[in-house]
Amino acid sequence: MSITARDSHLGINSMMGYIDFNRNLYYCRRCEEGFAPFDKELDVNDEHRITKNLTETVCDLAQRMSSFKEAEEVLHKYLNIKASHSTIQKISEKVGRRLYEKEKSEAEETYENQHQAIGDIPDHEKRGRIYIEADGSMVLIRGKGWKEIKLGMVFKDETVLNRKRKRHIITEKDYVVSLGSAEEFKKMLLNAAIKNGYGRAKEVIILGDGAKWIWNAADELFPDATFILDYYHFEEHVYECANIIYPEYELARRRWAKVIIDGFMDNKIAETIENIRPEEYTDLIVKEEVKRLKTYLENNHDKMKYKEYISKGYFIGSGAIESGHKH
């Protein structure tokens, strides 16, 4: 192998600003390729000529700021580093794609070998409780229209602060997100769950809004879990129906909804569903809405034992995943 070395100029952007220096560049005449060991020491991005630390900072700002333009302004203001918003976008999207592909690959490996990944721990050795939440939301993507983004979140019960207050705090949580299929998403969710103790936790709680793709994935991946229909989605469905029945009478709406909600909270689930009678309404729109609500409750009744869940200290609302979507 014939290798020659020579000094070569390099200008890079770093956390200390722009750096201009010479370093050794080695060139192989046989393969006609060159390499600079010092570049690898600095972990320099070949395309954009920036260091690894600056790449991480750029990506962090890109996701935290409201726009790439704002990230450009903050980077210049606080670090005196000039990088155009288009460069910041290219860097962050490239890194994002690479991380996403890595996460998908890890999830695929875990899914194919899930029994090995989960292990076989005896029940008496299992400890703690983990929550797994999932939800879908429509987002507008430039050039592609509206797409459903699937978001999952996993956290341990021990990481919850102020748990008895309405606004509790989850100090550690793992998110997974996908614009792909439910099949792809479920593998990523399983991978996150195992990382956070699935297989080692004594209790596993699944919270969802009633979407079939969530329950189908959970049925397959977490058959030993307790499934809970998000209480606030349940309450919202009841009030939406009440608004159709009594559009002009608020007191009547509240009374009608309260009977159903209280029935479920008192664990009188079968009786409450039986007392919802679509056939008693003559208006076709109202009849269809009441029928739709009854079907929703029938399909999810086994996941709505709220009195029991509360007595065990379980969360019954998926507000955390809703907040994740908004963020």
pLDDT 10s digits, 38-50 = 666 666 666 667 7
Q: Specify the pLDDT at position 80.
A: 87
Give yes or no for residue 32 having a pLDDT over 80.
Answer: no
Q: Specify the pLDDT at position 191.
A: 96
Taking a C-beta distance cutoff of 8 angstroms, is the pair 83, 54 a contact?
no
Q: Which residues contact 74 (CB under 8 A, 6 or more apart)?
A: 61, 65
Q: Specify the pLDDT at position 325.
A: 75
Render pLDDT for 162-173 as a digit per residue (tens, 0 to 9). 877 767 889 999
Q: How confident is the model at residue 205 (pLDDT cuts 50, 70, 90)?
A: very high
The average confidence (pLDDT) of the chain is 88
What are the tokens at 248?
Answer: 């002009």
Q: How confident is the model at residue 17 (pLDDT cuts 50, 70, 90)?
A: low
Taking a C-beta distance cutoff of 8 angstroms, is the pair 129, 157 a contact?
yes
Q: What is the DSSP letter of 229?
A: E
Helices 250-265 + 231-245 axis angle, to 10:
150
What are the tokens at 288?
Answer: 């269809």
Q: Which helix (H) or strand (E) holds 260?
A: helix 250-265
Q: Comparing 10 with 249, which gets the higher pLDDT?
A: 249
* HSE value, Cβ hemisphere, 13 Å, CA-based, for 200: 8
Render pLDDT for 138-162 as a digit per residue (tens, 0 to 9). 988 888 899 999 999 999 999 998 8
Q: Specify the pLDDT at position 2.
A: 57
Give yes or no for residue 14 having a pLDDT over 80.
Answer: no
CA 217 vs CA 62, 134, 151, 182, 213: distances in Å: 32, 10, 13, 8, 6
Q: Specify the pLDDT at position 327.
A: 72
> Tokens 């009188």, residue?
268
Which long-range contacts link 28-32 to residues 24+ away (Cβ below 8 Å)?
A: 28/1, 28/2, 28/3, 29/2, 29/3, 29/4, 30/1, 30/2
Q: Specify the pLDDT at position 83.
A: 87
Q: Comparing 272 with 36, which gets the higher pLDDT?
A: 272
